[in-house]
Amino acid sequence: MKLFFAAILSLLLVACSGSDDASPAASPSAANEATAKATVIASQTPSATAIVSSTPSTTATASNGSSNGGASNGNTATRTDLSSLSGVVDKIRPATVQVTNQTNVPFGRTGTSLDVPQGTGTGFIYDNQGHVLTNAHVVEGGTTLLVTLANGEAQEAKLVGSDARTDIAVLQISGSSLPIAALSDSSKLKVGDWTVAIGHALGLPGGPTVTAGVLSAVGRHVQEPSETNGGGPYLFDMLQTDAPINPGNSGGPLVNINGEVIGMNTLVAAQAEPGVPAQGIGFAIPLSRAKPIADLLVKEGKVAHASLGVSFTPVNPAIAMQLGAKQGTKGAAVAQVTSSSAAAKAGLRSRDIITKVDGTDVKDESDLPRLIDQKKPGEKVTLTVLRNGTEQSVEATLDQAT
C-alpha cells in the first residue's frame, strides 16, 4: 500500500495572535506576492491522491461529554515532567485508532470485486457513542472505512459526516466500554507548552508512533494543498508544533503533557522554498475548532458555509498603483466575480479592492475568507470597497457555499 500524500504547493503562513473561529468562504487566487511561503504536504498515507483541509461563527469549549471530560489543560508542566512520556502515551494510545480508506476494485475475471486499501490515516475516539474524529482527506473517496483499535480489533466504520472545507470528518464505531480520549481546552494553550503527537506514521505495523515537541505558535492560517492549479481551502487558527508529524499521522491527536487532546494533526511544511527544506513545522487543527464542527456533523451530517463568490489577490504596492489606490493600501483585489453570486448581486466588480468587512480591516491574504466565514449563509455584510480610488460601501447577502 502506498503512502497517501496530497499535492504539494507553496502557501502563505500568516501569524495571528487571536483565535477567531473561521474558515474559508471566498476562493482566493494564488498570491505571488506572499512574503512568507512554505511547501505543505498532507500528513497522511496514500495511494489515491487526497485533498487535505467555513465554519459556523460560534466557538465552543471542547468537552467530550463523557465521564472523563473536564480535564485540566496541564499548562503548568515543567521539564521534569518529561523524564518519561510513557504515562502520556498510556493515556492516549488506547483511544487512538488507525483509519484505513478502502476502495472497491474488480477481482480478476470473476465478475466480483474486493475492497482494497488505498491509504491510511489516524483518528481518535472522543465520546462514549463511538464517534471518531479524523481528517476529511483521510476518508475522501473511500468505498468503506476500516477502523483498527489499539488492541488490534478492526471493524467497518460508519461515515457520519465529512467537511472538506475544514478538513474534519466524523466516523462511528460500535462496541461497549470503548476507550475515550480526554479532551482539553485548546484556547488556553501557551506557546512553549509541551506537545505529544501520536498516530500511524507511514502506516508502520506495531501500533501508533509517538513524537514530542513544543507548541511553536498559535493562530497560524495556512492554505491546504490541492491537486488542481491554485491552492485548496484555508485552515484558520492552526496550532504549530515541532513534534514530528509524518504521512499517516493525519487525523491523529496532538496532546498536552497530561495526555489530553488539544488538536488534530493535519499538515507539515516540507520546504521554505524550492531546494530549502523546512524543519519542525507541523500544523494541527485546534480542538476548539474541530469539536464544534464535529458536533454539527453528528447532528446534521454537514456544515453550512457562507460564500461571497469572488476570487482575489492581496494588494501590494504594484497592484495598488494599477488599480488607482494610494500607496500603502491594504485589502483584497477582486480578480473575478462569480455570476449570480452574492458578490454579483451586490454589484461587486473585477478590480474592486475590498478593504473592510463590517468595519474590520482586510490586511492579509487570509483575512477576507476568514471574516466571511465567521458569517452564516443568508447573513448580510457591509463591504468597504475602493473602486477607481473612490471608497464606497456595498451590502451583500451571503450565499451558502456548495
| Distance from C-alpha of 74 to C-alpha of 238, rounded to nearest angstrom | 19
Q: Which H or E run contains 354?
A: strand 353-357
> Which of these is catalytic: 250, 307, 341, 366?
250
Annotation marks residue 137 as catalytic: yes
Q: What is the DSSP letter of 245?
A: -
Annotation marks residue 250 as catalytic: yes
Buried b (16+ CB within 10 A) or exposed e, 72-108: ebbbeeeeeeeeebeebbebbbbbbbbbbbbbeeeee
- Round to the nearest angstrom and report the end-to-end CA distance of the chain: 33
What residues pair up with 20 in beta bridges, in sequence order? Answer: none
> Which of these is catalytic: 10, 21, 23, 137?
137
Per the CB < 8 A criterion, the answer to whether 316 and 333 are in contact is no
Q: Which H or E run contains 201?
A: none
Q: Which H or E run contains 357?
A: strand 353-357
Buried b (16+ CB within 10 A) or exposed e, 330-368: bbbbbeebbeebbbbebebeeebbbbbbeeeebbbbbbb
For the record, the C-alpha cell of 31 comes out as 498570491
Closest CA to 249 of 176, 195, 288: 195
Annotation marks residue 67 as catalytic: no
| Residues sharing a CB contact under 8 Å with residue 127, sequence separation 6 or more, in sequence order | 64, 65, 66, 180
| Distance from C-alpha of 359 to C-alpha of 295, rounded to nearest angstrom | 31
> Which of these is catalytic: 20, 167, 364, 373?
167
Residues annotated as part of the active site: 137, 167, 250
